[in-house]
Amino acid sequence: MSAAHEYLCAELARLVRLDARFQAVEIDRTYVAGDDGQGGRYPDVRFRWAGLPECVCEVQLSNTFQPEISERGIFYEGKGMPLVWILHGVEPRLENLPSSFRDVILRHKNNAFALDQEAVIASEREKTLVLKCFLLKAGAVVETHLVRFDALKFPKKGLPYFRNMLLPDIEEFRIRRRPWIDALKQLKTETEGNWYSDHMVLPKVVEAFNTLPVAPESPVARYDFARLVAITMTLLHEAGGRYQDLVYRHMPNATAALNTFLSRGGPQQRCAEVLQVLVERTALANILRPTVREHIVKAMALEPDQQVRPRHPLYDGLSWLVPEVFDDAVREELEQSGALPGWASAVPVGVIS
């Protein structure tokens, strides 16, 4: 243990003792055993306050390696002991951060924690542990706060944080979908719900395709994608509690629309697996009739090797439009933060827009 490391651990222990809830603290001396042959750990600073889970602070110097960072996080999470990394010897504003520091900051939801003189003074004034917290976005510090340790959020999975700077912008997702809903409404109005590939030149349809990061080029490919978006938006309106048929002239309910969609051969049946994901990950799981799953399974069996899956252009386009359902990383972040919309979970709450 270096002199700087030893000093910071001693300061953390001293400041932890200031809190009226203090029960115990130890520095690099208590062994936490692993499970099933897993190696144990000696936490830098391990402390306990009444009303909070037993916590660990690890002081990270520049020579801490990424695998070790990951392993410690997993280890303490398994023990139900929140882990906070205290950075030392680096300025978070610098662009040339060591990869290990970037990894720690990312795992703390782009929060960087430090104990500097200002944090020490605040700790002594408030008689509890206060940390300096740098909030980063796009690699730059956008805000700096003095944060009480007990003001951190302690998720069930992952490291504690003050504010989740990785939380996706749900309003941005709504904005992405609006041109498509407008385009589908125009298609339905001008064709009475009977539209084909030659209708892909309608102004609002062209505008909707221009919003995609990568748009299909041929009229047939555009038609296939538009049909998939149409049934998806129809089903999501149902998930949000306000059914609206955006595929056909008029289907009485979402179950009828979905079953009709799957009854068409070729490209639409190849989207059965996509629709299975859509149903299972949204409020539709509790809304649609049980026969829907049977229709999906039958359609998947007809085109088992041609199903649209992740990394297929249609799936990737839909993942950009509805990341709350189809982008696994976005969905996980929203779930962990308790920000997943009701229509994208088991209970139908809110309206898709």
Spans of the chain below 70 pLDDT: 1, 30-31, 33-39, 61-67, 93-96, 346-353
* Alpha-carbon gap, residue 237 to 254, rounded angstroms: 9
DSSP 168-201: --HHHHHHHHHHHHHHHHHHHHHHTT---GGGGG
* CA 330 to centroid of chain Cα atoms: 3
* Alpha-carbon gap, residue 227 to 193, rounded angstroms: 11
Q: What's the confidence (pLDDT) of residue 66?
A: 63
Q: Which residue has the tokens 């084909």?
A: 196
Q: What's the confidence (pLDDT) of residue 352?
A: 44
Q: What's the confidence (pLDDT) of residue 62?
A: 58
- What are the structural domain ranges in the chain? 3-151, 170-344
CATH 1.20.1740 for domain 3-151, yes or no, is: no
Q: What's the confidence (pLDDT) of residue 98?
A: 77
Q: What's the confidence (pLDDT) of residue 337?
A: 83
Stated pTM of the model: 0.75
Q: What's the confidence (pLDDT) of residue 35?
A: 67
Decide if 263 contacts 247 (C-beta within 8 A).
no
Q: Which stretch of DSSP H or E encloses residue 111? A: strand 111-114
Neighbour count for residue 110 (Cβ, 10 Å) = 23
Decide if 66 contacts 80 (C-beta within 8 A).
no
Q: What's the confidence (pLDDT) of residue 93?
A: 67
Give CA separation, 89 vs 57, 60, 61, in Å.
16, 9, 7
Decide if 147 contacts 133 (C-beta within 8 A).
yes
